């Protein structure tokens, strides 16, 4: 009789834990559609006969959106949108129940490459880029719509040349001694440091004979100041026509470092301005 009691208790215990495991598995298998709104100024354009969203920042259209989703500590899914997608900037994702760590990236850089194993993303030619780590829980009672405000993670060098561009000027060259072409999308820290890459900027023919031309270069940065030397030149088809090296140029995330002056007159020199895109380091879309 006692053996029968123990056996009955053992069977009940096994059934109880089996039922709990099945309930947990069912809970983990449940999903919900979650909609995300990237905050900002959406301009509607007619592209390919469909109405599509455009994310415009400083008059420039962003081109790519990534969402990297870690679910309960494991990589769940990666979403990539381009500006040709009808819901660009307003993605809907099928998400499992549980805790989520989401990383949002919006950029208009050229040649993006994302490396999930190293938690990094880089560009052959970086441009304006925004990022946000967003944590949330998906459950029966959680909201199905979330609005996300991203932070700018780049710095910018802008050289404003007051000289009149002479016939034969073809390109401008910008070569920092230290520059970052990507960042860690989990921490926001800059990555992919280079000390040898030259950014070549084509000079449109209609700019010949004009002055006060701007030449810009974007890179990734920390929130604190850092310094590097920058070589800048105006070139003809074979060699530099006039060049200058700016020493100990100060950079910081979400700030434009502007040099304004004459390349042809070294006595006049360049004035230096720091232009804050946004003093709070958060640029709403």
Task: Return the C-alpha torsion angle 128, 121, 133, 78, nearest 10.
Answer: 120
Domains and CATH numbers, the chain: 32-152 (2.60.40.2100), 154-276 (2.60.40)
Residue 148 CB neighbours (<10 A): 18
Maximal C-alpha separation, the chain: 107
Q: How far apart are the first and last CA of the chain?
A: 73
Checking if the pLDDT of 212 tops 60, the result is yes
Q: Regarding predicted confidence, which is higher, 48 or 206?
A: 206
pTM, whole model, 2 decimals? 0.82
Pair 129, 220: CB distance under 8 Å: yes
- Place 24 in a pLDDT band, splitting at 50, 70 and 90: low
Kindly list the distances between the CA atom of residue 272 and the CA atoms of 45, 154, 157, 260, in Å, as whole numbers in the listed order: 38, 19, 11, 6
Backbone angles phi and psi of 24, in degrees to 5: -65, -40
Kindly list the distances between the CA atom of residue 283 and the CA atoms of 61, 131, 217, in Å, as whole numbers in the listed order: 15, 10, 19
Query: Considering only 36-45, 105-114, 154-163, 201-210, which range has the smallest mean pLDDT?
Result: 36-45
Tens digits of per-residue pLDDT, 45-62?
A: 433 444 456 788 878 889
- Place 280 in a pLDDT band, splitting at 50, 70 and 90: very low
Mean pLDDT of the region 26-46: 68
- Place 28 in a pLDDT band, splitting at 50, 70 and 90: low
Would you state the pLDDT for residue 276? 58
Mean pLDDT of the region 235-262: 91
Query: Considering only 15-19, 23-27, 166-170, 269-273, which range has the smallest mean pLDDT?
Result: 15-19
Mean pLDDT of the region 216-228: 94
């Amino acid at each position: 009789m006692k053996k029968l009691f123990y056996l009955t208790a053992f069977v009940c215990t096994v059934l109880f834990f089996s039922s709990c495991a099945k309930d947990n598995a069912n809970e983990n298998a449940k999903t919900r559609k979650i909609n995300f709104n990237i905050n900002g100024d959406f301009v509607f354009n007619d592209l390919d006969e469909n109405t599509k969203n455009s994310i415009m920042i400083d008059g420039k259209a962003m081109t790519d959106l990534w969402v990297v989703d870690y679910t309960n500590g494991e990589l769940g899914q990666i979403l990539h949108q381009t500006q040709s997608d009808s819901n660009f900037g307003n993605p809907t994702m099928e998400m499992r129940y549980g805790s989520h760590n989401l990383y949002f990236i919006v950029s208009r850089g050229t040649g993006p490459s994302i490396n999930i194993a190293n938690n990094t993303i880089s560009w052959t030619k970086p441009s304006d880029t925004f990022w946000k780590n967003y944590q949330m829980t998906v459950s029966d009672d959680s909201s199905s719509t979330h609005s996300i405000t991203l932070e700018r993670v780049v710095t910018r060098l802008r050289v404003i040349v007051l000289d009149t561009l002479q016939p034969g000027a073809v390109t401008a060259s910008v070569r920092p001694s230290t520059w970052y072409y990507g960042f860690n999308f989990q921490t926001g820290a800059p990555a992919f440091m280079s000390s040898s890459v030259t950014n070549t900027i084509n000079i449109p023919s209609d700019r010949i004979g004009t002055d006060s031309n701007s030449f810009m270069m974007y890179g990734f940065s920390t929130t604190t100041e850092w310094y590097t030397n920058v070589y800048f030149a105006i070139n003809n088809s074979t060699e530099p026509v006039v060049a200058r090296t700016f020493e100990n140029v100060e950079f910081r995330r979400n700030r434009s470092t502007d040099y304004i002056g004459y390349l042809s007159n070294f006595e006049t020199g360049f004035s230096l301005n720091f232009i804050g895109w946004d003093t709070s380091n958060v640029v709403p879309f």
